[in-house]
Structure 1
Amino acid sequence: MEKSLIINGISKSFKEVKVFNRFSLSFPKGKTTCVLGPSGCGKTTLLRIIAGIILPDKGNIDDFQNKTFSFVFQEDRLLPWLTAAENIGLVLKNKLPNDTINDAIDEHLKLVKMQDYAHYYPHQLSGGMRQRISFARAFSFPSDVILLDEPFKGLDHLLKQQLMENVHAILSDDPRTVIYVTHDPEEAAIFGNKIFLLSEKPVKVIGEFEQNGPSHSTGHFINQELVNRIKEKLLIVP
């Protein structure tokens, strides 16, 4: 299988805390890989290393230099002085022809059901609505890899389900390489073509699962057998 990203033996410490020690992982191209682990184990640090925001102390990421990245954080990180449409358009400058930017903005606002709020400022939108704009911004950018850092954290159940439906639709239409960090086994089972379970620091892989076929369901079906296997693995591994 062709690999989009391969992490080769990375090590990373912060002062006396060793987060990664010769850690390796591979991510299949055009698929969604979920990285599941306890809070504070180093999942966000892993995404930041992949994106080049921070550097590992040792090791490397193959094909890293030739990739572009989009990022959806736990918080929306929208610029408050720009409207929803302007926040999306900002990342498209110099990336798309000027005469296609407005069409791209409209297309992605429709994908997340936010076309009626294009000219609203972030303070006029709810938390769930702002996060939808974050997804539209990330997927509108013509990146090779999309990094999702617990993007549904803190949303109530109904908003979470609605936003997950939107993301399913986007991934079905635009199957890019996605690396999705979460601590929720159900999210991993819904989204992940491949799922890695991580330990506490120093991080190691303690479990690996793979789903054949599309993982992006309608949101109404969850592979409960897989959820149970993930939970069982997390419980039996110290």
Structure 2
Amino acid sequence: MGKNAEILELRRVYKSFRSKNGGLKVLADISLSVYAGEVIALVGPSGCGKTTLLNIVAGLLDPDQGDVNQKQGLRTAYIFQEPRLLPWKTVEANLSFVQHNFLLPSEAAEVRDNLLQRTGLEPYRNVYPAQLSGGMKQRLEIVRALSIRPQLLLMDEPFKSLDLALKYQLQELIFERHAEEKFAILLITHDPEEAVMQADRIIVLTDKPTNIYREIIIDLPRRERSIKNPELYQKLEEILGFLLKKQQ
């Protein structure tokens, strides 16, 4: 894949947290560039700091050392593991609330209507989150992120609690939008197969203090990928082997 314009750069990022036993070093010397339109998957041992890294990218945490540089005015959306909806606002109002800073009213309404229709949430547009099932709340969380037409979409295992049918439906929606709007995606996954099938680059992280063990390039159109492809299967085995070794 040819590289587009760089929209985000992490340069020698470090992060530690205080603990009862002193300092806990989480990230150590992480450098990473993100380019417009690409999909990057972060994989690594459980608890290695993937969410911490995503939170630094989102501006929710500051690094102890290092630089986070992004394109001016970069429009970033974040899909969390669990829904973080506004309980006092309806389904539609949860969308319009985040849209008003980014889109003109006519465009915002068109995007809202399209996404609500596409995901089966249209009949619930005037309902409050407390009246939705867990799966529908997560569906709304994903729709809300897409509703601002992001340039960078951060995803922290948003399909973790969903059944397979809904997971595949929402993955299809996200990647349809990605194909149309060419936003970059930075996603966390514990599923190496998902990483191989969806990402253009896979960043394999070590255990704490975490840095980058390996970068794997998947230079094959997404629609042509199959685990039966020997090259992809070899890359899947490599990631699995590394993760299993770290669990022993």
Is TM (by shorter chain) over 0.5?
yes
C-alpha distance in structure 2 between counterparts of 1:54 and 1:237, whole Å: 27
What per-residue deviation string (whole Å, max 9, x for no partner) do you get for residues 77-107 of structure 1? 1112222111111101132222332212102
- Structure-1 residue corresponding to 2:15: 12
Offset of residue 213 of structure 1: 4.1
1:110 counterpart = 2:114: no
| Counterpart among 65, 68, 76 of residue 58 in structure 1 | 65
Once the two structures are superposed, residues 122-173 of structure 1 have per-residue CA deviations (whole angstroms, 9 ceiling, x without a partner) of 2222222221211111111143211111111122333322322222322222
> How far apart, CA to CA, are the structure 1 residues paired with 2:58 and 2:213?
24
- Write the letter of the residue equivalent to 1:12: K
Question: Aligned in 2, Cα 1:111/1:174: closer, same or farther, shift over 3 Å?
Answer: farther
Q: Give structure 2 stretches of 5+ with no counterpart.
A: none
Alpha-carbon separation, structure 2, partners of 1:94 and 1:152? 27
Instruction: Indicate conservation of the 8 Å contact 1:12/1:18, yes or no.
Output: yes
Structure 1 residue 73 displacement after superposition: 0.1
SS in 2 for 1:82: coil
Instruction: State the partner residue of 1:28.
Output: 35
Q: CA deviation at 1:44?
A: 0.7
Q: Give distance in 1, aligned partners of 2:107 and 2:170.
A: 26
Contact 2:92 2:112 in 1 (8 A): yes
Cross-structure match for 1:91: 98
Alignment of 1:150 with 2:157, yes or no, is yes
Amino acid of the structure 1 residue aligned with 2:239: I
Residue 65 of structure 1, CA deviation? 5.1
Aligned amino acid, residue 175 of structure 2: H
Distance 2:154 2:25 in 1: 23
Q: Give the CA deviation at 1:37.
A: 1.4
By how many angstroms is 1:49 displaced?
Answer: 0.7
- Picking from 163, 174, 185, the partner of 1:167 is 174
Displacement, 1:233? 3.3
User: Which segment drifts farther, 70-79 or 19-28?
Assistant: 19-28
Partner of 1:232: 241
Is 1:127 the equivalent of 2:130? no
Count, aligned residues: 236
CA offset at residue 24 of structure 1? 1.1
Partners of 2:107 and 2:182 in 1: CA distance: 21
Tell me how far 1:236 sits from its aligned partner: 4.7
Letter in 2 for 1:212: D
Matched with 2:206 is: 199
TM-score when normalising by structure 1: 0.89
Equivalent residue for 2:56? 49
Deviations 1:28-49 (A, max 9, x none): 2211111111221111110111
RMSD: 2.3
Offset from partner CA, 1:46-89 (integer Å, 9 cap, x none): 01111111111111022355423101000111112222111111
Contact 2:108 2:147 in 1 (8 A): no
For structure 1, which runs of at least 5 residues remain unmatched after alignment? none
Q: CA deviation at 1:221?
A: 5.1
TM-score (norm 2): 0.85
Once residues 71 and 104 of structure 2 are traced to their aligned partners in structure 1, the CA distance between those partners, rounded to angstroms, is 25
